[in-house]
Amino acid sequence: MKAHNMEIDKNMPCELSDGTVLQSDVYRPAEAGEYPVLMLRLPYNKEARRYYDEYLEVPRMVEAGYVVILQDVRGRYASGGEFYPFVHEGKDGFEAVEWAARLPFSNGKVGLFGMSYHGYTQLAAAVEQPPSLKAIAPVMTMADPWGDILGTGSAPHAIGKFETWVLGSIVEDQLKRRNLLDKVQLNNYLEHLTEYMHEAPANQWSPMKNLDPGSFFFDIMQGRLDNQLVERLQLKEQLSHVDIPALFMGGWFDALLSPTLQAYEAYQGDKMLWIGPWTHEQMTGQAGAEFFAGAAKNIGADQIADPTEVHIQWFDKWLKDKPLSIQKPVQLYLMGQQRWVAYDEFPNVEQQKFFLESRGKSQTNAGDGELVSKPSSKVTESSLTLDPYHPVPTSGGGSLIAGVESGIFDISNLHERDDVLVYTTKPISGDIQLLGTLKAEIWCSSPTSLCDISLRISHVDPSGRAWVLMYSFHREKVVDNHPFCLLADIGTTAYKLSKGHRLRLDIAASNAPLYDINLNNGKTTKTHTEGYVANETIYHGGKMSSKIIVPCTTI
């Protein structure tokens, strides 16, 4: 088959050492010869347009002189074997790379690319260090595959993210392979997914219990994963021993920005980092209610055509020994300034502290909560209600769950709730560029053994509307009613606050349906349903001066 001066070989078999056959669609130049290979290994349908010419444009990569291979991973779509998330990607990736290197139209040099799950497939293969792998390009991904989905100890569990992924992207093919797919039943669950995500207990989730009761979903939700297996799949420490060049890309509103940055920081080989005003769903510049020009075309300080061209130049350097026109390895889009800036390394800017101030009435935006430059000498406290049957909803930011869009949205309505504490600065006197990771030190206590704290940052415009930029969620196992200091990263950004605007922190004790909900009895909605209303405490001033630490520069 020929198209655009390109040969296309559908479902070319790749036999692994255990006899499993993986199927690959191969796109290669029509002109005979040997070429370097770029491979994407994914658990989603390799026939989908998203992987052919939306995320990156495969025909352009072929035109640039590459063989491009899209491969279904073990147990997915056309490939044989049984799928279990993440478990086989290291060994299978090693063998797939070496298979690609031996193809008759390959020159023996292989690169890997892809985003999200197929970013992890690259890191897992790179850790195995196949001899023919010369460069990778993990985008919006993670080195710890389970992260806050699996959770450890008393950590919160991102059950909404996991439920969205399994039901929305995985289970249909799993059922189809076993001739068990009831399309009507599945569609009914998908149509009502946002409602089912509030169902508890999550470890007995009825959509999966009815569709696929033997699914890996329950191994994870019911804590049946072997600890040694979990440890083996965590790659962050292993990345320090990998010297294969890596191009990392992330989005300021991507749910996986923090794990992408963690993988980038751990990686010790030649590396490059790009972060744009992107969400996990799109790299157009549209992020919720705000659009950022220059995010899709002519990107980076060097005005590279688009992400496809960035990838081509990256692989040209490492697979073809061509010079790289990108001058500096860190390329960040500064939101509000609507421009890209290049750095030799991720910038480390001056940090400003804002202390939480209140006389104990910081509930709602009509309360007395403030962010100030100096702490009060007197300790005060605000009561934070956690009603497990009326949780504070997930909204905007780096969300990756059904029914919640990622990006900047007006969340003023959340700040009218009396179970949300609100702290706001005075209007700023000049433009300020936030640039880096915002951190928090929050003194708090809980009347029960678990303390849940949701931290959300927004900017407040002159009209009083609050626009969410980021959030994080934290759970600590604590001694009842014993104050402690929560040390937390809230999120990383590069966003300009304009003169007259204000910076706001809000604190809640829930973030649902993204995270399981504390039932105020030592249990959560991951495993139980019955709970009661309780009040945590947030402290300010004196020896318990809660604060946020904001990296920022005046512009």
Q: What is the pTM of this model?
A: 0.96
In the chain, ranges of CATH 2.60.120.260 domains: 351-554
Q: Which amino acid is at 241?
A: H
Non-local CB neighbours of 439 within 8 Å, separated by 6+ positions: 487, 488, 489, 490, 548, 549
Q: What angle do CA 459, 464, 465 make, to 5 degrees?
A: 60
User: What CATH number has the domain spanning 351-554?
Assistant: 2.60.120.260
The residue ranges of DSSP E strands in 160-266, in sequence order, are 246-253
Contact predicate 409/428, CB 8 Å = no
The mean pLDDT of 299-315, rounded to a whole number, is 97
Round to whole Å and give the CA distance between 172 and 46: 15
Q: Outline where 103-215 has alpha helix (H).
A: 117-128, 147-150, 159-165, 171-177, 183-191, 193-196, 206-211
pLDDT of residue 312: 98
Whole-number average pLDDT of the chain: 95
Q: Which residues of 315-326 are buried (b: 16+ CB within 10 A; e: fewer)?
A: bbbbbbeeeeeb
- Banded model confidence at residue 457, pLDDT cuts 50, 70, 90: very high
The mean pLDDT of 428-442, rounded to a whole number, is 97
pLDDT of residue 51: 80
CATH class of 6-144+234-343: alpha beta
Pull the structure tokens for residue 414: 């959340």
Pull the structure tokens for residue 302: 């060097």
Asked if the model's pLDDT at residue 1 lies above 50, the reply is no
| 57-to-21, 62, 306, 312, 493 alpha-carbon distances in Å | 26, 9, 10, 10, 28
Nearest to 161 by CA among 397, 387, 410, 386: 397
pLDDT of residue 152: 60
State the DSSP string of 312-370.
HHHHHHHHH-PPP---SSEEEEEBTTTEEEEESS-----EEEEEEE-SS--BSTTS--E
Please name the residue that has the structure tokens 């479902």. Answer: 11
pLDDT of residue 74: 98
* pLDDT tens-place string over residues 165-217: 999 999 999 999 999 999 999 999 999 999 999 999 999 999 999 999 999 99
Contact predicate 69/84, CB 8 Å = no
* pLDDT tens-place string over residues 75-120: 999 999 999 999 999 999 999 999 999 999 999 999 999 999 999 9
The mean pLDDT of 542-547, rounded to a whole number, is 98
